[in-house]
A and B are shown apart, each in its own frame.
Chain A
Amino acid sequence: DAKTTQPPSMDCAEGRAANLPCNHSTISGNEYVYWYRQIHSQGPQYIIHGLKNNETNEMASLIITEDRKSSTLILPHATLRDTAVYYCIVRTRLEYGNKLVFGAGTILRVKS
Chain B
Amino acid sequence: DVKVTQSSRYLVKRTGEKVFLECVQDMDHENMFWYRQDPGLGLRLIYFSYDVKMKEKGDIPEGYSVSREKKERFSLILESASTNQTSMYLCASSSSSYEQYFGPGTRLTVT
Contacts and interface: CB of A to CB of B under 8 A. Distances in A.
Interface of A: 32, 34, 41-46, 49, 93-97, 99-104
B19 interface: no
Nearest to B48: A97
Given A43-B103, A99-B33, A101-B42, A94 B48 contact: no
B-side interface mostly? strand
B62 interface: no
B59 A97 contact: no
A-side interface mostly? loop
B57 to A, nearest CB: 10
Nearest to A93: B97
A97 to B, nearest CB: 5
A94 B97 contact: yes
Contacts of B96: 94
Contact of A102 (B42, B58, B104): B42
A6 B48 CA distance: 28
19 contacts: A32-B98, A41-B105, A42-B104, A43-B92, A43-B104, A43-B105, A44-B92, A44-B102, A45-B102, A93-B98, A94-B94, A96-B30, A96-B48, A97-B31, A99-B33, A99-B45, A99-B48, A99-B58, A100-B43
